[in-house]
Amino acid sequence: MHIAVTGGTGFIGSKVTESLIKQGHHIYVLTRSPDKHENTEQITYVGWLKETYKPETELPNLDAIINLAGDSLFGYWTETKKQRIIDSRIQATENAVALIEKLDQKPSVFINASAIGFYGTSDTETFTENTTTPGNDFLAEVTSQWEQTAKKANELGVRTVFTRFGIVLGKEGALPMMALPFKMFAGGKVGTGEQWMSWVHVDDVVEMIKFSLHHSNVEGALNVTAPNPVRNKAFSKTLARVLGRPYWLPAPAFAMKTILGEMSLLVLEGQCVKPNKATESGYTFLYPELTEALREIYLQKTH
């Protein structure tokens, strides 16, 4: 298959690219800086998001486009940072849809990154893909706009999937920051510890994106989360146990709000999200349980 990937050099994108290459596919990484990378037998770097670049003239007939581009959520949420979080996602998605429009032969599927932030936060509700009303906080607003933009690909006759990522666990991303206090023997629950954490191992993220590529019945929202979300206090205890460190020093909510500002929403509040569409479509999780996911990341053990 010929597959275009945006955000192909990031944490998730690089793993998706690597996995698809192993299966013999040719990947076209859409990037602002194609000159900084060297093409290989199976990867071609193609310029985009600048007026001088015309990716539609450089690409073959594509089977799929995977859009994983977007500014990191990490960092103090000033008004400028928040605008960058929104703009980077909307612009990349608009450009991906515009590219589809320009292609003579449309890809059969457009997989667009999204996030479980769509649902808003709750300590009591469980969210599935059947929940269609977004929450009312900043992240819900961002993801709602993001998905609305991606839906335009659907109007062009292209099957469109919104992969709503949970907390992705791997050697990069959020986990190293979450593990740092434990490694320094100062870890514990965050805030009340009652907030839900809908996590997923990065290998399952890769496999669920590939599952979306090959299963034409998968369309619209797809929760990319493990089937067993846990509350923060359970997550923290499990992480401490896997790292062989104590679980004892809670991080109070007021301290997190002082240090992180509005971004504290990411750690103090959460949502219980179930991947119903994936399981009903026949996807089998590599890491359905948190302990084995963390053991694989830190100890390279799955049993």
Residues 69-100 have pLDDT tens digits of 988 888 888 999 999 999 999 999 999 999 99
When the pLDDT of each residue in the chain is averaged and rounded to a whole number, the result is 94
pLDDT in tens, 3-27: 999 999 899 999 999 999 999 999 9
pTM: 0.95
Q: What is the pLDDT of residue 80?
A: 93
Could you read off the pLDDT of 231-267 as tens digits, one per residue? 999 999 999 999 999 999 888 888 888 888 888 888 8
Place of tokens 């992180």: 260
Total domains present in the chain: 1
For 133-164, the pLDDT digits (tens) are 999 999 999 999 999 999 999 999 999 999 99
First-last CA distance in the chain? 34
pLDDT score recorded for residue 172: 92
Q: Give the per-residue pLDDT at 49.
A: 87
Which CATH number belongs to the domain containing residue 198 in this structure? 3.40.50.720
User: 249-261 burial, b for 16+ CB within 10 Å, e for fewer?
Assistant: ebbebeebbeebe
Rounded mean pLDDT, 33-57: 92
Percent of the chain with pLDDT over 90: 84
**Each residue's pLDDT tens digit, 176-192:** 989 999 999 999 999 99
Helix (H), strand (E), coil (C) string for the chain: CEEEEECCCCHHHHHHHHHHHHCCCEEEEEECCHHHCCCCCCEEEEECCCCCCCHHHHCCCCCEEEECCCCCCCCCCCHHHHHHHHHHHHHHHHHHHHHHHHCCCCCCEEEEEEEHHHHCCCCCCEECCCCCCCCCCHHHHHHHHHHHHHHHHHHCCCEEEEEEECEEECCCECHHHHHHHHHCCCECCECCCCCEECEEEHHHHHHHHHHHHHCCCCCEEEEECCCCCEEHHHHHHHHHHHHCCCECCCECHHHHHHHHHHHHHHHHCCCEECCHHHHHCCCCCCCCCHHHHHHHHHHCCCC
| Mean pLDDT for the stretch of residues 104-113 | 96
75-79, 97-101, 267-271, 272-276: which has the minimum mean pLDDT? 75-79
122-135 mean pLDDT: 96
Task: Provide the domain limits for residue 11.
Answer: 2-299
Percentage with pLDDT > 70 across the chain = 99
pLDDT of residue 301: 65
